[in-house]
Amino acid sequence: MTLNKFNLPDVGEGLTEAEIVSWKVKPGDAVAINDVICEIETAKSIVELPSPFAGTVNELLVPEGVTVDVGTAIISVSDEVSGDPTPADVRAPQAPVAADVPVAPDVPAQPLYGKLSRDAADEALADGAAAATSNAPLVGSGPKADAVKRRPRKTSPATAVTANAPEVEPVQPRTPAAVSANPAAVVDNRPTIGGTITGLVNRVLAKPPVRKIARDLGIDLADVVATGSRGEVTREDLVSYQAQRDAELDKADGFWGKVGKPQDQRVERIPVKGVRKATAKAMVESAFAAPHVSIFVDVDASRTMEFVKRLKASRDFEGIKVSPLLILAKAVIWAAARNPSVNAAWVDNEGSDTAEIHVKHYMNLGIAAATPRGLMVPNIKNAQDLSLKELALALNNLAVTARAGKTQPAEMQGGTLTITNIGALGIDTGTPIINPGEVAIVAFGTIKQKPWVLDGEVIPRWITTLGGSFDHRVVDGDLSARFMADVAAILEEPALLLD
């Protein structure tokens, strides 16, 4: 028997550590190649890890909730037993396989995370192809290793019992003294609605409507004192139990701790890890490394609102969520093409006092998303090449994936410019911190109807406020002002996108 240890891999570029969120297997479980064995949380996302080995789980080397470095062994898996089998290793006899079922050749499995070279893999596959006419599936595609199903052997009742099976003694009636001597096996002979319980007590008596009410209220019927004539739980019993439970909750502490309790019981300590740890580190580095300059501009977005309304009614956008954020994203791409230095990065040369400005001739547009797990900034790759409809689909997919916590590390790397939609939370504007590796970020405030002077008249219009933060080492005041003015121009007149 060989014991294989699986080391935590680098599931993203430059990943150094990850937290074991939950194990999907336990010692003794049989696993096949590519079976999900656990979930890990990287700096920004939750990732499922597949098993690179087939066999039996021997030991979980890292408990849940612990953060470990890449390369640390997290699980050990033993392969099939070789040599003389022990009684514990002997498998039960199975039905014979049909003669026309092809037998897969003995091809060495290529580990999911390993260093098996392409030449070695090609040689192994070539040897397997010479031994059989069918091609063995590669890891990660096709059926699993034990996908061949066999029909269960049919046995008659007479042959189902082996000759060596022990005789089953008939069950003798138990006396009250015997019952009291073994309280763990109490027999309940109370009458029920449909007859008499003759087995062990494992089900609380209650009518279906009462069971439904208990499920809806989250009540375990075993906790309720039954007062029914036949020993069943009634509606009144549920009402009484719920009232008692509500009274106990009212006496319990709310958010604020009670005066007089020890200070440790009034302070909640939350470990900083995962998303919060990565966000804190990135924001501190950006805030103190890049000199921020901020600009704000009020925008009449009434025509943007009309344009969004027309898009929603269009057959081309049927079933696609459309919002003003789509127009802003397109405006940012358009304005960055006119002011290329906002789509850049400041790069310090290691080992010297020199630095470079890298102007990106592509747009990986980052969208800051507030999720239950914290702030995430996935980006849309090559957003400059997307049509308005394609950009809308990309925004929808990005938001759904981020809220589900399924955003992969690669989707949050390589951003060139970011939008943060604080208007979705009802905020007018703010001074956002630039995402590390970028030099500009745009905050999109809420759109409200406000009094606006147009052609000398005060009329209600849809108004929003844009806030931009820029790295003053790269973007001067006049450049940041021109960029923000171009973005505002698109929101005021979306038809400019047709130019």
Using alpha carbons, select from 338, 311, 340 the residue that is nearest to residue 326. 311
Enter the tokens of residue 255: 């958010």
Side-by-side strand order, sheet with 36-41: 46-50, 36-41, 17-23, 67-69
| Catalytic, out of 292, 358, 361, 472 | 472
Residue 472 among the catalytic residues: yes
DSSP labels for 189-211?
--B-SSSB--SBS-S--B-HHHH
Q: Please, are residues 324 and 447 in contact by the beta-carbon 8 Å criterion?
A: yes
User: What 3-state class would DSSP assign to 70?
Assistant: coil
List the structure tokens of 110: 């290529």
- Distances in Å between the alpha carbon of 492 and those of 295, 298, 301, 330, 394? 18, 10, 5, 13, 24
**137 residue type, one letter:** P
Tokens of 86: 């022990």
Q: How far apart are CA 359 and CA 157, in angstroms?
A: 79
The neighbouring-strand residues paired with 41 are 19, 46
CA of residue 225 relative to chain centroid, distance: 41
CA distances from residue 441 to 22, 434, 469, 488 in whole angstroms, order as listed:
35, 6, 5, 14
Rounded Cα distance between 131 and 301, Å, is: 70
Residues serving a catalytic function are 472
